[in-house]
Amino acid sequence: MWWVPVKAVRQRAAEWAALAATAVGVLLACFAAAGALVADNVLVPVETSAAGAVPAGEGDGFALTGPVTAVLEIAEPTAGDRLWAFAPSLVLAVQVAVVGLLLFRVVRTLRAGEPFTPVNARRLWACAVVVLAGALLAAAARVFGHRAVVDEAGRALPGAPALDAVVDVPVAAVVLGLGLAAAAEFMRRGAVLRDDVEGLV
């Protein structure tokens, strides 16, 4: 009977888990992108004034003021509208694929028991750059696309209240990118410390 070391089983499980997570993330992002291409309409979050959205007034010490959030529906989106809706999901799919494969290669180095290497530090730095750059690119594409749609809607609806596109800051992606950058720096210093210790022995 052949016995497989528990450490090897855990290592293979971690590698397969990394690959599975990457594949699922890419598939979900691709499904979201495909949905934007085939959807009957496109929804764009917008802000408008409370006075223009609903009847405003004052009474009994209450007043309805300030902006409110609404959804602008494009019943017959053009190819350009669909492209702007498609772009962020496509960027996300590329991000997940690149970061997942880089992290998989980091996990594979655990087989040799030497994760603190300059190569792994560079891989984590690359992950951080991909996450941050991709988040900014996706956010920029979303903002430019939404503003173009809002401007077009303003020309098509002259009597409607003033609309403004909602700008969402990718906080989660920024935090994740900074975390990966911190992990990369930790990995780099660990590699330097390991080399110093080996030089003393």
Which residues contact residue 115 at a Cβ distance below 8 angstroms, ignoring those fewer than 6 apart?
Answer: 106, 109, 187
Read off the tokens for 68: 């409110």
CA–CA gap between residue 71 and residue 51 (Å, rounded): 16
pLDDT at 144: 85
pTM confidence score: 0.76
**Which residue, 80, 181, 70, 84, is CA-closest to 140?**
84
pLDDT at 76: 79
Tell me which amino acid residue 195 is.
Answer: D
pLDDT in tens, 30-64: 887 777 777 777 777 887 765 555 554 444 556 65
Domain range annotation of the chain: 6-200
Q: Which of 35-44, 113-122, 190-199 has the highest mean pLDDT?
A: 113-122
Percent share of the chain, pLDDT over 70 = 80
- pLDDT > 90? residue 126: yes
**Average pLDDT across the chain, whole number:** 78
> Cα angle vertex 16, ends 13, 17, to 5°?
80
- pLDDT > 50? residue 1: no
Which residues contact residue 62 at a Cβ distance below 8 angstroms, ignoring those fewer than 6 apart?
Answer: none
